[in-house]
Structure 1
Amino acid sequence: MWDFVLDAWDYVLDRRGQIAFQAFQHVSLVVQCVLLGSLIALALAVLVYRSPRATGAANGLSAIGLTIPAFALLGILLAPFGFGVTPAVIAVTFYAALPVLRNAVVGLAGVDAALIESARGMGMSRLATLARVEIPLAWPVILAGVRVSTQMVMGIAAIAAYVLGPGLGGFIFTGLARLGGANSLNAALTGTIAIVVLALVLDLLLLLLGRLTTPRGIRV
């Protein structure tokens, strides 16, 4: 057991530059796609949350989208976009938007109508009420969706290596492809453990973001 640990440590040290670079790529892909997916989801939520029928459709889209296997979606995207970054970005952004969409709809719909009416009575426009009252009050619920989204797509970004997308998934697929060969297990474990560590770090950063951006009066 100790020999295996030492061998794995040597593997990491020998490839620390490559690991660091691919870790940066992985985090960059996830953060950019979560940001893009969150903006898309929030825009959709603002359009639908006042309509029960549209809300049901949005929630249905979110539920159905999460049942689509990542491998299948990436395979479909290969035909129009080929291998590389583009299908990886599209797939990761798609999955990133789904939890945020559901939470944004729930959060906005849950804002007390009396508070909205009070804001409108003070002369605030519809857009100002949304930006200064509804979204801040719904923000903890929306951010919870962002956290779920980030954790979920950390793994999906690894699967994107199937289409030669950037990130740590390359270590995992390389290790699995050569299973039984030299350093195959080390490669798979390196990619997996690095993704878990990065996911925990990003979640802590989002917790801190929540503390800094949530209005004091509604903090739990």
Structure 2
Amino acid sequence: MGFLEFLVKRADDMLELGLQHAVIVGAAVIIATVLGVALGVLTYRHERARDLALALTGSFLTIPSFALFILLLSPLGLGWRPVLFALVLYGLLPVVRNTITGLRGVDPAIVESAKGMGLSRRQRLLRIELPLAWPVIITGVRVTTLVLLGIAAIGAIVNGPGYGELIFTGLARVGTPVAVNLVLAGTVGVMILAVLFDLIFYAIQRLTTSRGIR
């Protein structure tokens, strides 16, 4: 059976697994973004705090994904829970790093001008610093998304949702005619999702960034 014929025959499975993959990654990205931006905001003004935040979130990326998924089996069981938890951990560093970079890159003169106008620390952060840092922050979110799309496929080892099911099923059937088609279908599915997510974030960045700082 040719690959295209295989895709047509398994179109329903491809769509269902694609939705599962997108949902688990989307949820992880949202959580990682909220936590990462909050951590960046809390630490960017203090050298020791931001170094600690970057070191901690960076250490998560050194944990092999296979090992982490297996370690999470005991407290979280099989299914989407260990996958979501692991993806959030893996997704923190780019968001934290870019939030800190973006906020520290804001021109101090602009911040001082806002302070001179009577804006409080919170108002300066929300109205001046975060909007100016936003293009850098959302770039970190885009990087996180692309990284997590690939890692999410490995979550199939703990019965996680998504295209990893096709990939691992194919690997288990190595030597059979359908093995390559299964692995290739899962891989192509992840690549298509990566393109779609990147287009979505590009549109979000265009819509949420002031023309003056694009």
Q: TM-score, normalised by structure 1?
A: 0.94
1:112 aligns with 2:107: yes
**1:20-67: CA deviation from partner (whole Å, max 9, x where unpaired):** 011011011111110110000001111101101111111212322221
Instruction: Answer yes or no: is the 8 Å Cα contact 2:153–2:165 preserved in 1.
Output: yes
1:27 aligns with 2:27: no
Cα distance between partner residues in 2 of 1:177 and 1:122: 65
1:206 aligns with 2:201: yes
Partner of 1:125: 120
Q: What pairs with 1:23-62 in structure 2 (closer than 5 Å)?
A: 23-62=18-57
Cα distance between partner residues in 1 of 2:60 and 2:107: 30
**1:54-113: CA deviation from partner (whole Å, max 9, x where unpaired):** 111112123222211111111111111111111011011111122111111111111112
Unaligned stretches of 5+ residues in structure 2: none
Partner of 2:176: 181
Partner of 1:146: 141
**1:148-178: CA deviation from partner (whole Å, max 9, x where unpaired):** 1010000011011111111111000000011
Percent identity, please: 46
Count of aligned positions = 214
Cα distance between partner residues in 2 of 1:155 and 1:216: 33
Partner of 2:73: 78
Instruction: Answer yes or no: is the 8 Å Cα contact 2:57–2:89 preserved in 1.
Output: no
Instruction: Answer yes or no: is the 8 Å Cα contact 1:34–1:150 preserved in 2.
Output: yes
Q: After TM superposition, which residue ranges in structure 1, 4 or more long, deviate above 3 angstroms?
A: none
Q: TM-score, normalised by structure 2?
A: 0.96
- The amino acid that maps onto 1:52 is E
Cα distance between partner residues in 2 of 1:108 and 1:58: 15
For residue 116 of structure 1, give the secondary structure of its aligned residue in structure 2: helix
Partner of 2:162: 167
